[in-house]
Each structure stands twice: as C-alpha cells, then as structure tokens.
Amino acid sequence: MYLHVDLDAFFASVEQLDNPDLKGKPVIVGALPGTNRGVVSTCSYEARSFGVHSAMPIDKAYKLCPQGIFLVPRMKRYHEKSSEVMNVFFDFSPDVKQMSVDEAFIDLSGTEKLFGPPEKTAFTIKAKIKEKTGLTVSMGLASNRYVAKIASGMSKPDGFFYVKENSELDFITTLPLNKIWGIGKKTLEKLNKVGFYTVPQIQKASLPLLESILGKAAGLFLYKAVRGQEAENFSSEVQSKSISAETTYKEDLVDTYIIETALQELAHTVMFRLIKEGWNGFTVFLKIRYEDFSTCSIQETLPIPISSTDMLYKTAIKLFYQRYNGKPIRLLGIGTTNLEKSSLPQQSELFDTENKKKQQIEMAIASLKEKNPNLTITTARLMKATDISKKGK
DNA sequence: TCTGGGGTCCTAGGACCC
DNA sequence: TCTGGGGTCCTAGGACCC
C-alpha cells in the first residue's frame, strides 16, 4: 500500500506558523502587489475563499483580496520545514519518495507488524506531523501511487482518502476528467474535440485510438489512468537531470550591455549550483522570451563539461546571438543538462590550465559561501549591475 | 485575468553509423 | 543506378506538474 502525503497550502502555512498573527488570515505568497509580473505561488485557504489561487497574476489577486497579506517566498525556510516533515516519514518506512518540496510517497507495505494496518498508520503519521512540525497534511492511500496521489487531492485540506484494493476502477470512473492527473488544458481540449468528456467514454476507447489522438506515450498513460493503473514512468526515481535559472525582468531588456550582464548573472547562479551539488554539465541551453511572450530556445552539447562561469557565460552568449531577433526581452534563462556526477573520473582536457584555474577559484568561493552564506563575492561587472538585478526581481 | 521559476518527459526531424 | 532497416544522439518545441 502506498500513502501519498501532500502538505496543505505549504508556503502560506509555514508563514502562518512562523508568525501567528497571520493565522486565520488570507496569506498570499508569491510577490508584492504593484510589483510588475508576479504570480501567486501558494495562498492560504482563507485567501482561496476570495477566489485567489496558484499561478494567478498577483495584481488580480490583489483586486480580489485587497486585505490579503502578500509575502515574498522564503524558499530556504520552506526547505527546512520540508526536511522536518520528510524525517517523520522515515520513522515509518524506509521507502519514502520525495516528489517535490511539499509531497512524498510512502510505501507502507510490510509495516503492519510495527504500526498496524496502513489506514491506522496514516492517521498516526498525520498526528506526528502536526505534533512535530505544526503543519497539516492531506493523504491518499491506495494500492498504487497514481491512485494514492489523486486520492490525496480529493481529501484536501487536512484529510484522508482511502481507496480500497479492487475499488480503484470505481474510484477513477466517477472522477471528472480534469481531476485525472496528467490531463492538462491542451489534452482536455483535444479529447473534447473528438467527443470525449467523461472517464467512462475514454474507458471504452481502444489504445490505438487514444494513441492516435494524443501520441504514443500520452495515449498509453491515459489508457492506464482511466483504469486506475499506474504508468511505468509515473514516479520514477528522482535524480537531477538539469540545473537552470531564469528571470522575468520587471521591464523588458533592450540594451545589449544589460542583456549580457543579465546572462552573466544567470551563468553565475547556475555555475555555483553545479559546483555545489557536484555536477558536470555537458549541454548548455538558453531560453529567450520576448515581450509578446513568444519563446525560443537553443542548446549545444560540448565535448567537455562546463567548468567555469566564464565558459558557461561565453557559450550562452554565443547561443544568444545565434537566436536573438532584436525584440525587447521579457525573460532570459540559462541551464545545463546532460549531467554527470563530477566525482566520476573525467578525461582531462589537453589545454585546460586556464579553465582549471578559474574552476579552482570558483570552488574556493563556493566553499566560502557554504561556510558563510551571508558572504557576497561576485565579479566587478555584476556589482555594477546590482541595479538591474534589483529592478528585475 | 497579460501570464513566475524550477523541473520532467515526449515528439519529430536530422545526422550519422553499421 | 533514386534508395533498406535499425539504432543512437542531438535539437527545438510543447505539455504538464508543483
């Protein structure tokens, strides 16, 4: 049996926990009203009753709920609370799969002898989380992860939903299509276009038909989903496959010096994470979003891994000018993929002294930062550019 | 409603190889 | 000489999720 656990209105709940004055009030975490181009990340249930929800533009949230308490996310704090919660899970099972900062799957198979039947264990875990962290969770229990995940969604907030063995199909059959995890806006449109509006209609469709509508993978995924079955890739092992950073600027970027500085800043951010987490990245990708929201990307795979901010920056600049159409830029992003653990033996570069030196300096800075997070070390250019970064955030 | 940031996986076409 | 089949890797874009 699998238990899916989801923290309720996580970011907003942590804020209410840390500042009891906020309890019972509409807390909206994301951005401050009036700041251009922000969205709601999470909001408390009190705010939801005003119609506010995740991904809503912050100014719209403000119109709906002017008395709301608007806060900027404190990711570091949320990650702290998140690990407290995950640690509780490990007291109940060695098999815990953390799926994101606020949710995890717990395999409760074989824990009966220690903790009793799974549905009882679920309530024990729920109480323990509340006691140790002050947070409430929503839970779903089922014979596979996919159904458990949907069940926990049905139990929000602070609930528990148990789909007993052999009733998975009945459970799924009664759901509206938009509650099926993996069906988003576009897929729903495609399905509606060919006359599918309910789960039972899709249950009658053949696999080849679904594949012809949605493509091979999505077709198979949906075919299994409407039968309460889990697809192979649904909760595959979580390991880093890419590291990236992107910024939507408060005002569109037009000046090439500012654009290049922005790219350097992003390269800096990504490189430090790469070093800190011990990755070698062989592919660099760059993302540009223009003022009209049209988005393009370009990537290049290198024969050797990125080893310094400078190398990442220079590659990004090269890619940028291959793609840039001269229009005002709303967002820039840099990332790296094709990752390998940097502890693996690496074929050393033939003429690599320059890069090695740079990397050694960056390693030193990264470890200093590790010891003293408040330390700010940056290049002269980025110091001058503090203006744009502040404006941009 | 004027649309964040960090990710994952899939698709389709092209290059290249045997 | 007008053109196979299988496989891998790369690229750009898209859909989806939290």
| pLDDT one-digit tens code per residue, A176-221 | 999 999 999 999 999 999 999 999 999 999 999 999 999 999 999 9
pLDDT of residue A392: 40
* A7 touches A44 (CB < 8 A): no
Nearest CA-CA partner of A24 in A14, A16, A32, A36 = A16
**pLDDT class for A231, splitting at 50, 70, 90?**
confident
- Tokens 């979580």, located at residue: A238
Rounded Cα gap, residues A390 and A370, in angstroms: 23
Query: What average pLDDT does chain A have?
Result: 91
Which nucleotide has its C1' atom closest to residue A244's CA? B6
Residue A391 has pLDDT above 50, yes or no: no
Residue nearest to nucleotide C10 (CA to C1'): A301
Going from the C-alpha of A149 to that of each of A75, A220, A347, the distances in angstroms are 24, 19, 43
Rounded Cα gap, residues A63 and A65, in angstroms: 6
Which nucleotide has its C1' atom closest to residue A184's CA? C16
Tell me the CA–C1' distance in angstroms for A34 and B9.
Answer: 36
Mean pLDDT of the region A369-387: 62
Tell me the CA–C1' distance in angstroms for A234 and B4.
Answer: 25
Least confident span in A78-82, A214-218, A350-354: A350-354
Active-site positions of A? 103
Counting residues of chain A whose pLDDT is more than 90, the rounded percentage is 83
For A268-297, write each residue's pLDDT tens digit: 999 999 999 999 999 999 999 999 999 999
pLDDT of residue A36: 87
Within 193-252 of chain A, which residues have Cβ less than 7 Å from strand C?
none
For residue A45, give every residue at least 6 positions away whose Cβ sits within 8 Å of its Cβ, in sequence order, or none.
A8, A9, A157
Inter-residue long-range contacts of A292-298, CB under 8 Å, 24+ positions, other chains counted = A292/A327, A293/A330, A295/A331, A296/A323, A297/A323, A298/A322, A298/A323
Identify any residues that bridge with A136 across adjacent strands, giving them in sequence order. Answer: none
Mean pLDDT of the region A333-358: 72
For A234-271, write each residue's pLDDT tens digit: 876 667 899 999 999 999 999 999 999 999 999 999 99
Strand B-proximal residues, CB under 7 Å? Answer: A 36-39, 41, 54-57, 59-60, 215-218, 233, 236, 239-248, 269, 273, 292-293, 330-331, 333, 335, 337, 393
pLDDT of residue A342: 87
Which nucleotide has its C1' atom closest to residue A270's CA? B6
pLDDT of residue A381: 72
Rounded Cα gap, residues A160 and A169, in angstroms: 19
For A123-156, write each residue's pLDDT tens digit: 999 999 999 999 999 999 999 999 999 999 999 9
pLDDT of residue A82: 97
pLDDT of residue A383: 66
Rounded Cα gap, residues A222 and A177, in angstroms: 11
Which is more confident, A197 or A231?
Answer: A197
